[in-house]
Amino acid sequence: MKHTLLDRVPRRDVIKGGALGALAFLVGGKTLMLSPSEAFAQGASLRTLKAEEAETIAAMGDALVPGARAAGIVQFIDQQISIPPEEALLQARIMSVRPPFANLYRNIAIAIEKNVGARHGGKRFAQLGAEEATAFINDMRQNKIADWQGPPGGGFVYAVLRADSVDVFYNTVAGYAALGVPYMPHILPEKKW
């Protein structure tokens, strides 16, 4: 029988967490049910992503959706690529990408850095100025980066990371408020997530 991280969390905490939009994160060696933004704020440990990959995803996520870093884009992706693929809430799964999803997100980070480095003299994406980052993203989105190195194309990478960033930032009570849209769920969460 295959065990997951949730097997170590009391069932009532999983049920309570699910109602709150929470996921299982490791903080200080303990498994806690938190939102991705809470996991970011509490410095949740990464299980699968390496520090450089996390830095790239955080910088790209924040460039695509300002606020995605603090909303926990890295923690969300890392948590989701660390669970069984059939449970993942990632855009990659929605787009029918074959698991393991960790390979895709690692290759996305590598591709971004290879292409930014080739274009900007070895710089990393996080080191780009706002204009350089915007120009790179626009070209990536339109598949206009000559000799693209990485997953199927820049437009695909853009679509995956943008959708995940939008999900983690806007699919919350606070995200709806930021849009000026009333949050009207069938069942209200016990607290804002």
What is the residue-wise DSSP string for 8-30?
GS-HHHHHHHHHHT-EEEEETTE
Q: Where are the beta strands (DSSP E) in the chain?
A: 23-27, 30-34
> According to the model, what pLDDT value does residue 110 have?
96
Percent of the chain past pLDDT 90, that is, above it, reads: 72
Q: Where in the chain are the domains?
A: 48-179
- The pLDDT tens digits for 171-180 are 887 788 888 8
pLDDT tier at 191, thresholds 50, 70, 90: low
Q: Which long-range contacts does 144-148 make (Cβ < 8 Å, 24+ apart)?
A: 145/115, 145/119, 147/118, 148/111, 148/115
- The three-class DSSP label of residue 34 is strand
> d(Cα 158, Cα 54) in Å, to the nearest integer?
16
Question: How many residues in the chain?
Answer: 193
> According to the model, what pLDDT value does residue 21 have?
63
151 with 104: CB under 8 angstroms? yes
What residues have CB less than 8 Å from 142, skipping those under 6 apart? 154, 155
pTM of the full structure? 0.84
